[in-house]
Amino acid sequence: MLEFFSASLRLVNSQRAIEECLEVAMGQEAASCDLVVINASLGHPLKDLVDQVRRQCPRARVVASSCCGVVGREGVSESMKDVAIMAVRGREFAVAHVDGIHGHNSREKAVELAAALKRQQPGINMVSFLGSGIDIDNDQCLAGFESVLGPAVTIFGATSSDNMRGVVSYQAVDGEVFDHGAWAIGFADPTLEVDTQATHGFLAVGEPMVVTRSEGNRILELDGKPAWAEYTGRLGLPETATPGDTIPVGALAEALPPALALEYGNPHVLRVVTRRDPDGAMHYATTCPVGTRLWLTVRDEERIFSDLERMMASLTARAGGRKPVAVFHADCLARGRFLFNRVMKEELVSRMQYPLSTEGAPPPWLGMYGFGEFARLGGKNTYHNYTTALYVLYRH
């Protein structure tokens, strides 16, 4: 039976950061853990963090990712020196990783990950997935996992990020560090189940742009014009703008069918652009076929809070009085310090954690600000952007 422990802090020294996180999370029993998941801001070299875990926890598998800030039981922090961990004790899990995942091969790389997990643990019922935040086709990743594990297995997780530049993000597994890799943890504890939900609170505005030429997740033309030029022009930005310039203001919206819109609490799902090519093409987060209509959006801060309250009410209602044994959490970096000041951000996190707490204490909690989030919608594994996504683990 898997047990979960977490800690987060802000500290300059990478070695001390891990030592203190393990001490807070597990005390004198840290050496007994079997898996450690690390989220860390770019001020910490992932290899230094992973190496310190392996010194203190020699039997543990270690996975890590770069992010733009962390959320833990202790609250939220978005400095360049943030570290958060989830330590797991028990052997009912599997770990797999791949390198060189891109838009064109996302499905085959996800198939490789899923097959490796299944060989290790045939009873997997949920998967935590972390992929490169730049240039992967995330719905093809989900298709790859489901082709091996089946659609009933919940895929949750995030895509790694940098400090919103959209230049490079990192992933690490057992001492190896990648900049275009992915890892997955397959959980096979039959006493656990996961409930997932995501929400954003943005509103689509104006007339949509229409995708007139595309290749997979690369949008080549919008309204018959070079995609990047049309996109940045609609945003009022120069064509020389970087992806990092567009992320805070450039969320793109796709319309949802009415039934999904009702469940989501919003008629649109959002997408982020994290890369542009010299020829004016831009890399979308999912496959984007010709004919797709894309709206620009504006954030509605009141709705962000009200939609979060709606999501928490749904999660707690489905829990039926049960309290979580652990929570994994992915948040869009544009909902962090680039969107809110510190007071509002902490209030958002407080409104997430309070309903899931026991006697005022949050459960073990590992959150990150990344480029994208995975959570179910309409009973299906789905990729999201610009959301708060919670993955709440319960014991049967």
Tens digits of residue pLDDT in 16-27 = 999 999 999 999
**Whole-structure pTM value:** 0.95
Per-residue pLDDT 10s for the chain (396 aa) are: 999 999 999 999 999 999 999 999 999 999 999 999 999 999 999 999 999 999 999 999 999 999 999 999 999 998 899 999 999 999 999 999 999 999 999 999 999 999 999 999 999 999 999 999 998 999 999 999 999 999 999 999 999 998 767 789 999 999 899 999 999 999 999 999 999 999 999 999 999 999 999 999 999 999 999 999 999 999 999 999 999 889 888 999 999 999 999 999 999 999 999 899 999 999 999 999 999 999 999 988 889 899 999 999 999 999 999 999 999 999 987 776 555 555 467 888 999 999 999 999 999 999 999 999 999 999 999 999 999 999 999 998
pLDDT of residue 339: 54
- The answer to whether residues 365 and 71 touch, using CB atoms and an 8 Å cutoff, is yes
Q: What is the DSSP letter of 105?
A: G
* Interatomic CA distance for residues 113 and 311, integer angstroms: 31
Q: Tell me the CA distances in angstroms from 115 to 36, 98, 109, 124, one per residue in order.
A: 22, 12, 10, 11
pLDDT of residue 301: 82
Q: How far is CA 345 from the centre of its chain?
A: 17
pLDDT of residue 247: 86
- Concatenate the DSSP letters of all residues of 115-155 into one string: HHHHHH-TT--EEEEEE-SSS--HHHHHHHHHHHH-TTSEE
pLDDT of residue 343: 46
The amino acid occupying position 269 is V
The amino acid occupying position 44 is H
Let me know how long the chain is. Answer: 396
* Interatomic CA distance for residues 331 and 345, integer angstroms: 11
Q: Collapsing DSSP states into helix, strand and coil, what is residue 79?
A: coil
In the numeric block, which tokens belong to residue 193?
């189940």
pLDDT of residue 336: 60
pLDDT of residue 355: 96
